[in-house]
Amino acid sequence: MRLEKVAIIGAGAIGSYFIAGLSEKLGENLWIVAEGERSARLSQYGILVNGIEIPLHVKTPESAAGADLLIVAVKYGALPDCLPMIEKIVDEHTIVMSPLNGVDSEKIIGSRIGMEHMVYSLMKIASQRIGNHIAYDPDVTLGLFFGEPGGEKSERVLAIQELLEDTDVHYKISHDIQLDIWLKYALNISKNLPQAIINCGYGAYVESGHLSYISKCLRDEVVQVAAAKGIDISDSKNPAAGNTAISPDSRFSTLQDLDAKRPTEIEMFSGTLIRMGKELGVKTPFNEFAYHAIKCLEEKNCGKIR
């Protein structure tokens, strides 16, 4: 099995990392899938990654049909609208990865196209996005974690490894990808949300015992929900549970979204956790507060409240 034609939906922080990393190796066989105004804009302007302008080979979903690998790299809130595009691209041999934040994107996509297409994955990257410019530090970026649920090195896992070798995409084949995904989920909830509410840099977690307390309580609720699902994420020393090296003034994706007055991914973070907690009989009061606080900040950004 060889992965020669790769399609990507989404040219934001995650998509741009793969575009920058795979462009030289794949050339015209790396496709960015888009429709309408977005397709025209990407075709005309490309993207800027770490100051380097990268032209894009933009295709419609119909013309990208039959890709060997599809990487879904959109914001979580845009995922439902992308499902018809994904259906048009995927044929019987296509592998699909959705290294999005959260714990359920694979099931959302797999319920539409069949779980047999899905390879579980996550991304470890700290990036800043301003307009079409994406910036990140390649030296400290851990990159893509991926694997089969049972940890076996299947033919398709080895094919993805072969694709990524000799490229700038950093990767790790995970021995327990479900565990890693949940560890990353706990990290996002415990670090993204408190700083977004308080409007502060990453260094505040060291400087403020109050912020650290909120962070710990949010993470503890994720640990409890995961435990109720039979997943032990209490080990905070696992590589997927920690951040890459970042500066004290770093602002994570939720705060970046609020800064830019974009919708956040709070539904994927606390919203999903609250729903799972109710189904499993696990109380999540800190996440309920974080959910409503960030929803209020979104309403403030759009002028609904002052």
Report if residue 242 sits inside a domain. yes
User: What tokens does 154 get?
Assistant: 């299947």
Residues 146, 76 within the same domain:
yes
Residues 135, 269 within the same domain:
no
Residues 150, 204 within the same domain:
no
217-269 tens-digit pLDDT: 999 999 999 999 999 999 876 655 666 657 888 888 999 999 999 999 999 99
Residue 158 pLDDT class (50, 70, 90 cuts): very high
Is the CB of residue 141 less than 8 Å from the CB of residue 17? yes
Residues 168, 182 within the same domain:
no
Q: Which amino acid is at 254?
A: T
Report if residue 84 sits inside a domain. yes
How many domains is the chain built from? 2
Which among 129, 159, 174 is the end of a domain?
A: 174
Structural domain that includes position 132: 6-174
pLDDT in the model for residue 110: 97
Domain harbouring 103, CATH code: 3.40.50.720
Average pLDDT, the chain: 93
The Cα–Cα gap between 85 and 82 comes to 5
- The count of other CB atoms within 10 Å of the CB of residue 155 is 8
Which among 145, 174, 203 is the end of a domain?
A: 174
Total length of the chain: 306
Residues 166, 287 within the same domain:
no
The Cα–Cα gap between 10 and 12 comes to 6
Is the CB of residue 123 less than 8 Å from the CB of residue 15? no
Domain harbouring 260, CATH code: 1.10.1040.10
Which among 174, 193, 211 is the end of a domain?
A: 174
User: What tokens does 298 get?
Assistant: 């979104």
